Amino acid sequence: MSVANLTTKELEILVFLARGSLNKEISAQTNISLNTVKKHTTSIYKKLQVRNRSEAIVWYINLQNRN
């Protein structure tokens, strides 16, 4: 899976997830609704083929370590 498969907004949200931000905080920082944040996170999980937030964060950290 490549980061290129994520939209710009999904990548932005993934960075917030990796920083430990809560959905409510992501919503406030990105000026999108809480429901939209949840939809984006679900999309991120599907695209990265991970099951949850923790696995998405590990995926992102591994990506950072390769670069």
Query: Residues with Cβ < 8 Å from 34, sequence gap 6 or more?
Result: 23, 24, 27
Q: Residue 10 CB: number of other CB atoms within 10 A? A: 17
pLDDT for 9-45, tens place per residue? Answer: 999 999 999 999 999 999 999 999 999 999 999 999 9
1 pLDDT above the threshold of 90: no
Q: Is 48 exposed, middle or buried (0-12, 13-18, 19+ CB in 10 A)?
A: buried
The residue ranges of every structural domain in the chain are: 3-66
Residue among 41, 44, 36 nearest 63 (CA): 44
Task: Look at residue 4 and tell me whether its pLDDT is greater than 80.
Answer: no
CATH number of the 3-66 domain: 1.10.10.10
pLDDT of 3 strictly over 80: no
pLDDT at 66: 82
Burial of 8 (0-12, 13-18, 19+ CB in 10 A): exposed
